[in-house]
Amino acid sequence: MADMLILTEKELRDCVALDAEALSAVEDAFKSLAGGHVVMPPILRLDVEEHHGEIDVKTAYIPGLDSFAVKMSPGFFDNPGKGLSSTNGLMVLFSAHTGLVEAVLLDNGYLTDVRTGLAGAIASRYLARDEVETVGVLGAGSQARYQIEALRLVRDFSRVLVWGRDRMKAEQCATDLSSALGVAATACEHPRDVVRGSMVVVTTTPASEPLINADWLHPGLHITAMGSDAGHKNELDPAIIGACDAFVCDTRAQSALLGELHHAIEAGAVPPDVAVTELGQLITGETQARRGADDITVCDLTGTGAQDTAIARLAFQKAMAASAGTRFES
């Protein structure tokens, strides 16, 4: 018999935060991906179109680590109208030596939110200009908040612009970010206003039609797109991928299948064999993307199982150190 640890969302929130330690854990996962030895199968995806829902299953084994995670992440986008979160889910941590379950992390999507926000911050750490005064976010949900709060770990901005389809939600998001970060935050009428007024823009929506037009690009801009994690989702005008000075993604394989690169290839904006830099290559120093202050850079984040293994292991380690959770004999 073996003991299994069960952790609730509250316990996980007490253990893991948007901080430098979690940022380092996720950054290390991208480094491992750059090494080419991570075992990461394609994403298993199930669509529930009748109820505007989906579920993704992601996993990765990182050689040298003693455990790995399998994550189940639903997104049901009519839920806010029912008073429910649009995302939830859980992660299961397995021993890499025996395959036994070490922990069940009932995070309701919290750990996914954290690792996604941190991935956005990592992208800006290596791609955005050093000096950034104004940042913008398209989307006004929880991930918009995570992205901007995580971004503060790597850039000392003083102003935030927010756009959302629901003006009231955008205004509330701006109010929340202003209070949390001590910055000026404003809700904008149109995505164009956010893009043209910002040096870093993060897109956080399930949009199926582009939100950012290539005509709005300006010198020095960095865009992180993290909403396109399925073939039908698309936040960026495909022409942007061909027009920018540097295009980076978490993994080329996923971006070409599910992300913004997929749409750029399909539209003929870039050739199918276009050379692409992966985020891990920037972290290891293998290559460089931004070469000047006026470069326009783009990073497409489709979300990787390596990030899930990294954040799940960190949560487990911190829970063990704090004697948190409930032991269950399996």
- Candidates 73, 183, 62; CA nearest to 134 is 183
Q: Is there a single domain that holds both residue 30 and residue 147?
A: no
CA angle 168, 13, 230 (to 5 degrees): 60
* 198 lies in some domain: yes
User: What is residue 185's predicted lDDT score, i.e. its pLDDT?
Assistant: 97
User: What is residue 143's predicted lDDT score, i.e. its pLDDT?
Assistant: 93
Q: Which long-range contacts (CB under 8 A, 24 or more apart) does 264-268 make?
A: 264/238, 264/239, 264/240, 266/238, 267/238, 267/239
Q: Is there a single domain that holds both residue 145 and residue 289?
A: yes
Q: Report the C-alpha dihedral over residues 15, 82, 143, 133, rounded to 10 degrees.
A: -120
Whole domain around residue 165: which residue ranges? 129-303
CA-atom Rg of the chain in angstroms: 19
User: What is residue 11's predicted lDDT score, i.e. its pLDDT?
Assistant: 98
Q: Is there a single domain that holds both residue 98 and residue 154?
A: no
Q: Is there a single domain that holds both residue 162 and residue 218?
A: yes
* 124 lies in some domain: no
Q: What is the CATH number of the domain that holds 66?
A: 3.30.1780.10
* 118 lies in some domain: no
The count of residues in the chain is 330
Q: Is there a single domain that holds both residue 243 and residue 314?
A: no
Instruction: State which residues of the chain have pLDDT below 50.
Output: none
Q: Is there a single domain that holds both residue 96 and residue 75?
A: yes
Q: Is there a single domain that holds both residue 198 and residue 82?
A: no
User: What is residue 207's predicted lDDT score, i.e. its pLDDT?
Assistant: 79
Contact (Cβ atoms closer than 8 angstroms) between residue 326 and residue 6: yes
Amino acid code (one letter) for 244: C
Contact (Cβ atoms closer than 8 angstroms) between residue 227 and residue 218: no
Chain-centre distance for alpha carbon 57:
15
- Measured CA to CA in angstroms, residue 275 lies from 178, 220, 241, 289, 309 at distances of 39, 22, 12, 12, 28
* 155 lies in some domain: yes
* 120 lies in some domain: no
What b/e readout covers 46-85, taking b as 16+ CB neighbours within 10 angstroms? Answer: eeeeeeebbbbebbbbbeebebbbbbbbbbbeebeeeeeb
54, HSE (Cβ side, Cα atoms, 13 Å): 14
Would you say the pTM of this structure is higher than 0.85? Answer: yes
User: What is residue 231's predicted lDDT score, i.e. its pLDDT?
Assistant: 67
Strands across the sheet with 222-225, in order?
Answer: 184-187, 159-163, 134-138, 200-203, 222-225, 297-300, 246-249, 277-278
* 281 lies in some domain: yes
**Cβ-proximal residues to 81 (8 Å cutoff; 6+ apart), any chain:** none
* 135 lies in some domain: yes
Instruction: Domain count for the chain, please give it.
Output: 2
Q: Is there a single domain that holds both residue 293 and residue 314?
A: no
* 116 lies in some domain: no
Q: Is there a single domain that holds both residue 214 and residue 235?
A: yes
Beta bridge partners of 17: none
Q: What is the CATH number of the domain that holds 159?
A: 3.40.50.720
Amino acid code (one letter) for 35: G
Q: Is there a single domain that holds both residue 56 and residue 204?
A: no
Q: Is there a single domain that holds both residue 240 and residue 220?
A: yes
Q: Is there a single domain that holds both residue 197 and residue 229?
A: yes
